[in-house]
């Protein structure tokens, strides 16, 4: 992706010298995405989550207590369900509304703004109801705006991830992020991974006290000479997600989900 200077986004990230306990410098990570680049990024996420199939924009995975919607398969909890994963669909809808997008009337009327299906069986019985078709069409028509939400969400995550890292590690992790967002493939990998597996900060997103988000991948990267930063990120993510599957109580994570996760990581390469 060629840098065009359009749609410049800046995130201020504070760095601290190990052990000194005081701020010594402030630097910024810069991420430039033109509208064409943002659209490209969104299409990669859509392909990863839905194999670019519109039918998958409103979906409920087997073994999960919530539906997944949109190009990023944003989590939407039903009433009374408080799962361990960070809910993202309401925030994405807030972003669309802030961009001036008009919601389907039945979605806008929801109060509370919870998924309208109590469980997966009820969702499957709803089949191809008019409301589901309308929601699917709405999500298909707003793919670019959803990509904007993904980019903004990832950028905000970078500050939180560095702030949550142990102080002695912050400079090293900043350097890794700086190198990643300096390449098109690295921008895609960071944005997709935050959407895919989160920041790695929530205490509820742990198995055996080990997380699997962006923070953990950055920490596990191997900086040996001869590796590109994107290769190091990809290989680290394989280790982190394999560890998650091995620590999981549910066999479905090892037997069915992990192969798909690893296939997704293989897309973290520079575009041709």
Mean pLDDT of 42-59: 92
SS3 content of the chain, % helix, strand, coil (to 5): 55, 10, 35
Mean pLDDT of 51-63: 93
* Cα–Cα distance measured from residue 32 to residue 204, given in angstroms and rounded to the nearest whole number: 33
Instruction: Name which of 27-31, 122-126, 180-184, 188-192 the model is least confident about.
Output: 27-31
Q: Confidence band (pLDDT; 50, 70, 90) for 41? A: confident
The answer to whether 176 and 200 are in contact (CB under 8 A) is no
Query: Is residue 206 predicted with pLDDT exceeding 60?
Result: yes
Is residue 180 domain-resident?
Answer: yes
Q: Confidence band (pLDDT; 50, 70, 90) for 33? A: confident
Mean pLDDT of 249-270: 93
The answer to whether 103 and 97 are in contact (CB under 8 A) is yes
Q: What is the pLDDT of residue 113?
A: 97
Q: Confidence band (pLDDT; 50, 70, 90) for 140? A: very high
Is residue 23 domain-resident?
Answer: yes
Is residue 272 domain-resident?
Answer: no
Is residue 1 domain-resident?
Answer: no
Taking only the tens place, the pLDDT of each residue in 68-81 is 999 999 999 999 99
What is the number of structural domains in the chain?
1
Q: Confidence band (pLDDT; 50, 70, 90) for 270? A: confident
Domain that holds residue 74: 8-265
Q: What is the pLDDT of residue 32?
A: 65
Neighbours of 98 (CB within 10 A): 10
Taking only the tens place, the pLDDT of each residue in 212-236 is 999 999 999 998 888 999 999 999 9
Strands 23-32 and 8-16: antiparallel
Is residue 200 domain-resident?
Answer: yes
Exposure on the CB side of residue 109, measured as CA atoms within 13 A: 4
State the chain's mean pLDDT as an integer: 87
pTM for this entry: 0.75
């Amino acid at each position: 992706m060629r840098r065009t200077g359009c749609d410049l986004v800046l995130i201020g990230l504070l760095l601290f010298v190990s052990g000194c306990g005081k701020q010594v410098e402030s630097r910024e990570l810069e991420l430039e995405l033109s509208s064409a680049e943002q659209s490209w990024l969104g299409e990669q996420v859509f392909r990863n989550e839905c194999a670019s199939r519109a039918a998958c924009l409103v979906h409920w995975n087997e073994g999960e207590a919530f539906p997944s919607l949109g190009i990023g398969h944003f989590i939407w909890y039903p009433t009374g369900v408080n799962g361990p994963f960070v809910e993202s669909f309401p925030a994405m809808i807030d972003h669309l509304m802030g961009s001036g997008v008009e919601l389907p009337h039945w979605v806008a009327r929801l109060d509370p703004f919870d998924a309208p299906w109590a469980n997966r069986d009820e969702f499957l019985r709803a089949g191809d109801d008019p409301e589901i078709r309308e929601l699917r069409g709405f999500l298909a028509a707003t793919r670019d705006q959803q990509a904007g939400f993904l980019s903004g969400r990832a950028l905000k995550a970078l500050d939180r991830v560095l702030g949550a890292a142990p102080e002695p590690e912050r400079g090293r992790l900043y350097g890794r992020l700086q190198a990643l967002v300096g390449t098109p493939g690295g921008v895609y990998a960071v944005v997709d991974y935050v959407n895919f597996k989160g920041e790695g900060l929530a205490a509820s997103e742990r198995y055996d006290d080990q997380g699997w988000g962006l923070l953990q991948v950055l920490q596990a990267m191997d900086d040996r000479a001869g590796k590109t930063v994107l290769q190091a990120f990809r290989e680290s993510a394989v280790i982190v997600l394999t560890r998650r599957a091995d620590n999981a109580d549910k066999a479905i994570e090892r037997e069915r989900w992990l192969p798909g996760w690893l296939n997704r990581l293989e897309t973290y390469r520079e575009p041709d």
